[in-house]
Structure 1
Amino acid sequence: MRFAFVAAAVAWGFSSPLAAEPVGQFDDHADIGEPSHEGAVTLDGESYRITGGGANIWGEADVFHYAWTQRSGDLHISADIAFEGEGGDPHRKAGVMIRQNLTPASPYADVMVHGDGLVALQYREVQDGPTRQITSAGPHRGAVRLEREGDFVYFSVEGEDGALEHAGGSFRIPFQAPYLVGLAVSAHDDAVSETAMFSDVTLDVPQLAYVPDTGYAAQVEATLELMEVGGAQSRRVIRHFDGKIEAPNWSLDGETLYYNSGGRIYAIPVGGGESVEIDTGRHVDNNNDHGLSPDGTQMVISDQIEPDNLSRIHIVTLDGTQPVREIVNDPDARSYWHGWSPDGQTLAYVRVGANDDSYDIWAADVDTREISPLVVAPGVDDGPEYSPDGRHLYFNSTRSGAMALWRADADGSNPVQLTHDPARRDWFPHISPDGRWIAYISFGEDIALTDHPPNREDVQLRLLPTDGSAEPVILTRLFGGQGTINVPSWSPDSSRIAFVSYRLKR
Structure 2
Amino acid sequence: MKRLSTLILLFFCSLMPNQKLNSQADPTGIFFSNTDIGAVKHQGNVSYLSDDQEYLIEGSGKNMWFDDDQFHYLWKSIQGDFILRAQIKFVGSGVDPHRKIGWMARNSFRPDSEHVSAAVHGDGLVSLQFRDSLGGDTNELPSKDTAPDIIELERRGSTFIMGTAKLGQPLNKIVYENSKLKNEVFIGLFVCSHNPDVVEKAIFRNVRIIKPFDESGERYQDYLGSHMEVLDVETLHRKILFSSAHSIQAPNWTPDGKALIYNSNGYLHRYDLKSGKTSTINTGFAVRNNNDHVLSFDGKQLAISHHDDQDNGDSAIYTLPVEGSSQPVRVTKKGLGPSYLHGWSVDARELVFTGSRNDQYDIYSVDIATGKETQLTNTEGLDDGPEYDPSGKFIYFNSNRSGTMQLYRMKPDGSEVEQLTFDELNDWFPHISPDGKKILFLSFGTDVESGDHPFYKHVYLRMMSVDGGDPKILSYVYGGQGTINVPSWSPDSKKVAFVSNSN
TM-score (norm 2): 0.65
Q: Percent identity?
A: 33
CA contact (8 A) 2:100 2:191 kept: no
1:126 to 1:243, Cα distance in 2 relative to 1, 3 A: farther
Q: Which residue of structure 2 aligns with residue 466 of structure 1?
A: 466
For the structure 1 residues 58 and 442, does the alpha-carbon distance in structure 2 shift closer, same or farther, using more than 3 Å as the test?
closer
Deviation at 1:71? 11
Q: Which residue of 2 aligns with 1:103?
A: 122
Q: Does 1:252 align with 2:251?
A: no
Aligned to 2:496: 497
What secondary structure sits across from 2:121 in the alignment? Answer: coil
Match of 1:481 in 2: 480
Contact 1:312 1:328 in 2 (8 A): yes
1:171-186 alignment runs, 5 A limit: 183-184=190-191
Work out which of the residue numbers 364, 373, 378 in structure 1 matches 2:375: 373
Which amino acid is 1:488 matched to? P
Q: Deviations over 1:152-210 (max 9, x none)?
A: 99xxxxxxxxxxxxxxxxx9885766999665499xxxxx9999xxxxxxxxxx99995
* Inter-partner Cα distance in structure 1 for 2:106 and 2:188: 9
Q: 1:181 to 1:447 in 2, by over 3 A?
A: closer
Q: Deviations over 1:297-343 (max 9, x none)?
A: 11100001315001110011122468421111341310011010111
Q: How does 1:279-298 map to 2 (within 5 A)?
A: 279-298=282-301
- Residues 434, 70 of structure 1: alpha-carbon distance in 2 compared, 3 angstrom cutoff: closer
3-state SS of 1:406 partner = strand
User: What are the within-5 Å matches in structure 2 for residues 395-406 of structure 1?
Assistant: 395-406=397-408
| Preserved CA contact (<8 Å) 2:420 2:467 | no
Q: Aligned AA for 2:222?
A: A
**Inter-partner Cα distance in structure 1 for 2:269 and 2:243:** 14
| 1:344 paired to 2:348 | yes
Distance 1:392 1:208 in 2: 38
* Contact 1:404/1:417, CA 8 A, preserved across alignment: yes
Q: Which residue of 2 aligns with 1:393?
A: 395
Assess if the C-alpha contact under 8 Å between 2:59 and 2:191 holds in 1. no
Q: Indicate how the Cα distance of structure 1 residues 408 and 285 shifts in structure 2: closer, same or farther if over 3 A, else same.
A: same
Report the Cα offset of residue 225 of structure 1: 0.7
Is the contact made by 2:282 and 2:325 (CA closer than 8 Å) also made in structure 1?
A: no
Instruction: Identify the match of residue 315 of structure 2 among 301, 311, 316.
Output: 311
Deviations 1:73-132 (A, max 9, x none): 855999xxxxxxxxxxxxxxxxxx9651332656699xxxxxxxxxxxxxxx96324469
Partner SS state of residue 344, structure 1: coil
What corresponds to 1:127 in structure 2?
Answer: 146
Measure the CA separation in 2 of the matches of 1:107 and 1:31. Answer: 26
| Secondary structure, aligned partner of 2:215 | coil
1:62 and 2:91 matched: yes
Q: Which residue of 1 aligns with 2:267?
A: 264
Whole-Å separation in 1 of the counterparts to 2:107 and 2:292: 37
How far apart are the structure 1 equivalents of 2:370 and 2:481? 32
Residues 435, 70 of structure 1: CA spacing in aligned structure 2 closer, same or farther, 3 A cutoff? closer
Question: Between Structure 1 and Structure 2, how many residues are aligned?
Answer: 383
Amino acid at match of 2:433: S
Counterpart CA distance in 2 for 1:339 and 1:209 is 31
Question: Where does structure 2 lack aligned partners over 5 or more consecutive residues?
Answer: 1-34, 45-57, 63-69, 73-85, 110-115, 129-143, 163-169, 182-186, 202-209
Contact 1:426–1:441 under 8 Å retained in 2: yes
Counterpart in the other structure of 2:25? none
Shift of 1:25: 3.6
Per the normalisation by structure 1, the TM-score is: 0.65
1:244-275, CA deviations, whole angstroms, 9 ceiling, x for partnerless residues? 01111011111100111000000102356232
**Partner residue of 2:420?**
418
Pairwise CA distance, 1:221: 0.9
**2:378 partner letter:** V
1:62 to 1:31, Cα distance in 2 relative to 1, 3 A: farther
1:438-467 CA-to-partner distances (Å, cap 9, x unmatched) read 11111111111211111113x111111112
> Which runs of structure 2 are paired with 1:231-242 in the superposition (5 Å)?
232-242=235-245
Deviation string, structure 1 residues 407-434 (Cα, Å, up to 9, x no partner): 101111110111111x211111111111
Letter in 2 for 1:100: A
2:457 partner letter: R
RMSD over aligned Cα, in angstroms?
Answer: 4.4
Unmatched runs of 5 consecutive residues or more in structure 1: 1-22, 33-37, 43-47, 51-56, 79-96, 110-124, 133-145, 154-170, 187-191, 196-205
- Structure 1 409/220 Cα, relative in aligned 2: closer, same or farther at 3 Å? same
Q: Secondary structure at the match of 1:266?
A: strand
* Structure 2 letter corresponding to 1:274: K
